[in-house]
A and B are shown apart, each in its own frame.
Chain A
Amino acid sequence: MTPLLETRSVTQRFSGLVANSDVSISVGRGEIVGLIGPNGAGKSTLFNLIAGVMPPTEGAILFDGEDVTRLPAAERCQRGIGRTFQVVKSFETMSVIDNVIVGALVRATHIREARRNAHEVLEFAGLAARADVLASDLIPSEKRRLEVARALATRPKLLLLDEVLTGLTPIEAQTGVELVRRVRETGVTVLMVEHVMEIVMPLVDRAIVLDLGKVLVAGKPQDVVRDPKVITAYLGDRHAVGQ
């Protein structure tokens, strides 16, 4: 079976700066894949290329067996790619439920259906009690959950999570981890960018490490964390030698 998502030799340059260079990754159906790497490794760029914020300078992106390289973000969402934003982008003047309805409208033919689906998603994400609150009145961890809920309401096949667990308290992060697990149980494939290794490693089936815009290592999380190349990338040469 073809993988759900595949990038083929994707390269992205920003006027001289090469953010991604010849990146080829694939994500299988039903997987939880972690995209990790030190600051400036090109995680966010790759993430944005997959989400359709801009087309890559070179290379191709295949989703569900089809070439989506040139499709705009809205159309990718319609095809089944949902995403969250690292810096949360709630619709601040709208209530929580209205935020989620916007996402649900992609699949619903009628507003009433979208509202019903949105309520279900809020229930799933543990935000049902906050449905009628303005998004601007949510606390940060709730805003993160709203990001996930809104993306889930679009019924994605692939959910892209951009540092949803970063900066949360340990308890909040644990709730987040459980939410991601439950998302996968509903049949959604997850690709998550994370910075904090301790949180993601127990969660993901596979980890892809980016460094300096290139794929450094990809594999099972327990192998990846022991890989000297990864340790060098994160901590510098001295520590790798000490191993």
Chain B
Amino acid sequence: MDKAFAERRRRELMLAGCLALVAALVPLFVKDVYVQNIMVLTLMYAALSQSWNILSGYCGQISLGHALYFGLGAYTTALLFTKFGVLPWFGMLAGGVISALIAMALGYPCFRLRGHYFAIATIVIAEIALLLFQNWNWAGAALGIDIPIRRDSWLTFQFARSKLPYFYFALVLACIAWFVTWWLEDSKWGFWWRAVKDNPDAAESLGVVVFNSKMGAAAVSAFLVAVGGSFYCQFVSYIDPESVMGFQFSLLMALPAVLGGIGTLWGPMLGAVILIPLTELTRSFIGGSGRGVDLIVYGSLIVLISLARPQGLVGLFARKKKALAP
């Protein structure tokens, strides 16, 4: 029984390794910059959604305000670089730590709310942060921050002439987010989180300190999302409040996980691979004026999924496995 479990865990790890290897080879065959751009975004959203999934999927605290941490990561990196000349790598780390601390500070009052009330609070807080940044002159206010372009270098993490370094970094980011999830899944925290999601009262009666579990999940989740935001800042070289802290980012982190399977190891990855290219393609075909159309597309996708397969697309694989078992 334990052997079968260990075997399954090892198989998952190997599958992830193989997939990462295949993904790493794709740019050798795909030279189109537009397609490469989509691949970078897909990997980034896979990482973000995987991180979102830790708090909202595993621990069950649905956050629709993760754009806040994404924005904080981006802003910390940009501000440290432009104002103090701090390299983005340190900015990335600082952004992660700041986001984790803020997530816990916000969690302190918010984790007393249950269910929908928590989700609503997260939306409101992210919107307030957006307004604050739009009016914060030192941080560029609504005009945002331009990252000064220098020579291509890993040191400053800038590459004006090639998408490939970004692609590989995004791939590493997705792998890290996946691996952290995989590792946490079979840890004390992983069990506590799932217990808290399923039944907080029962969890408490079994010695799980529900509040601390939620705080832990929030910190890990916010840290990883902020690292993603920091990456995005380097990738686009220009940020303003709406472009890194807008509500659409909160949605784009939640939707892949919901589509693929919320609270599952593979759900966010699968969801991102389907959803993000679809979004980018509809956006470019319909053109700049149709900004809402992509939202309509994945809105309908989500409705379809929640009607036909509420546990997400990975549920399709699970059912097949169950049918095969004696």
Contacts and interface: CB of A to CB of B under 8 A. Distances in A.
A102 B1 contact: no
Nearest to B5: A115
B195 A94 contact: yes
Nearest to A73: B204
B187 interface: yes
Interface of A: 51, 53, 72-75, 77-78, 82-83, 85, 89-94, 97-98, 101-103, 105-106, 111, 114-116, 119, 131-132, 150-151, 153-154
Interface in B191-217: 191-192, 194-195, 197-199, 201-210
Contacts of B32: none
Contact of B206 (A53, A111, A119, A151): A151
Contacts, number: 83
A111 B187 contact: yes
Contact of A85 (B192, B197, B202): B202
Contacts of A94: 194-195, 198
Given A73-B205, A77-B205, 6 more contacts: A74-B204, A85-B201, A94-B198, A102-B191, A102-B192, A111-B191
Contact of B199 (A82, A90, A119): A90
A106 B207 contact: yes
Interface of B: 1-2, 5, 186-188, 191-192, 194-195, 197-199, 201-210, 263
Nearest to A119: B1
29 contacts: A72-B209, A73-B204, A74-B208, A74-B209, A77-B204, A77-B207, A82-B205, A89-B199, A89-B202, A90-B199, A91-B194, A91-B199, A91-B203, A92-B198, A93-B194, A93-B263, A94-B198, A102-B203, A102-B206, A102-B208, A105-B188, A105-B192, A105-B207, A115-B2, A119-B2, A132-B1, A150-B202, A151-B206, A153-B206
B315 to A, nearest CB: 12
Contacts of B187: 111
Contacts of A53: 201
Contacts of A73: 204-205
A72 B188 contact: no
A98 B203 CA distance: 12
Contacts of B197: 93
Contact of A91 (B1, B195, B204, B263): B195
Given A90-B199, A90-B202, A105-B192, A78 B207 contact: yes
B198 A93 contact: yes
Contacts of A105: 188, 191-192, 207-208
B73 to A, nearest CB: 31
